[in-house]
Amino acid sequence: MHTPAVLMQKYEAVADISGRMLEAARRDDWDAVIAEEQRVRVHIEQIRACTRAQGEVPLTPAEREAKGRWLRRMLADDAEIRDLAQPWMRRLQDMLSSADNARRIDACYGGLQP
């Protein structure tokens, strides 16, 4: 059973990790972003398991305000990470598209030698 304090620690941990993900994205360190994302998933699954087992955990007004602040920060971090990822995703898509086109050309004309 998770107490409100334990649940709040998990939300705070997710918010902190979200901030580290943003810093890694700003450094263009996408491997670190992915590694931090794995840590986030662990905490989120623990939060979900807690609420599935116990239902909604009652929070004090101060805890609700802190939870809201962390959630807003996570959403802002996520939006900025997505903005930073767009050029990287576009480059990846271009590389994959080029590789796919090369395979198609090779499939059509692969056996031909000049």
Query: Would you say the pTM of this structure is higher than 0.85?
Result: no
Mean pLDDT across the chain: 88
The dotted CATH code for 4-109 is 1.20.58.380
Cβ neighbours, 10 Å, residue 18: 22
Contact 70, 11 (CB under 8 A): yes
What is the sign of the dihedral through the CA atoms of 46, 53, 2 and 58?
positive
Buried b (16+ CB within 10 A) or exposed e, 42-70: ebeebbeebeeeeeebeeeeebeebbeeb
Per-residue pLDDT tens digits for 43-97: 999 999 988 888 888 899 999 999 999 999 999 999 999 999 888 777 777 777 7
The tokens describing 48, both together, are: 């979900």
Burial class of residue 32 in the structure, from the number of CB atoms within 10 Å of its CB (0-12 exposed, 13-18 middle, 19+ buried): middle
Spans of all domains in the chain? 4-109
The tokens describing 71, both together, are: 């959630």
